[in-house]
Amino acid sequence: MVDNTFLKKDFIVIFFELIKIINFREASYTFLLYLRTLKINMNIVFLQLGSNLGNRESLLQDAITEIENRVGRVIEKSKVYESTPWRVEGQENYLNQILKVKTELLADDVLVTILDVEKELGRVRLEKWGERLIDIDIIFYNDAIIETPQLCVPHKHMHERMFVLTPLHDIAPDVVHPKYNKTVVELLEQCRDTELVKEYAL
């Protein structure tokens, strides 16, 4: 005669083990979906740093620190370049650098954040293209084209500026300008800017 008590116990144990397996699979699937969502929500933004007042090297590094803390992980940095002021006279030379940053922020939020960083590092906006302790511009945001009164992406003057294209070429030569459908290499070759841009020895 079969003892049904043991059969019932075995069934209950197996049943709960199956429940664990099913729940684990569901939890794993949900977690994978979550990771996929995080990946989808990550954006690539290229930021230009510039400084021609104060301790320029220190200001660039302070800006990088704040960007990593508040915008996202800096995954690539160009070399630092020194350039003469663009379309203005009587100013000190600039140090410039391009960062490639991975961020969850939307473009508008990146703009708000970098403006706050500029302010905290001492920038005061008095005149267009005036001297500044620190300047942070959005050059590319994914392959987006954004044209609003507050934000223009890609940066509307980037293709005209050797001090942008030269460091950008260091880390993103094959990135395509979404509006002009040209790579950074092509833009650099076609740029007519004659302002001096040279690598800066840190």
pLDDT tens sequence across 113-144: 999 999 999 876 555 545 788 999 999 999 99
Burial of 202 (0-12, 13-18, 19+ CB in 10 A): exposed
Query: Domain residues for 139?
Result: 42-199
Residue with tokens 């990946």: 39
Q: Say how far apart CA 155 and CA 175 lie, in whole Å.
A: 14
> Do 80 and 162 fall into the same domain?
yes
Q: Say how far apart CA 58 and CA 84 lie, in whole Å.
A: 19
> Do 112 and 130 fall into the same domain?
yes
Partners of 94 in the β-ladder: 83
Q: Say how far apart CA 121 and CA 133 lie, in whole Å.
A: 8
> Do 98 and 139 fall into the same domain?
yes
> Do 82 and 179 fall into the same domain?
yes
CATH of the domain at 145: 3.30.70.560
HSE, side-chain direction, 13 A CA sphere, residue 158: 31
Read off the pTM: 0.78
> Do 102 and 135 fall into the same domain?
yes
pLDDT tens sequence across 55-114: 999 999 999 999 999 999 999 999 999 999 876 776 899 999 999 999 999 999 999 999
Number of domains in the chain: 2
> Do 134 and 187 fall into the same domain?
yes
Three-state DSSP at 21 gives helix
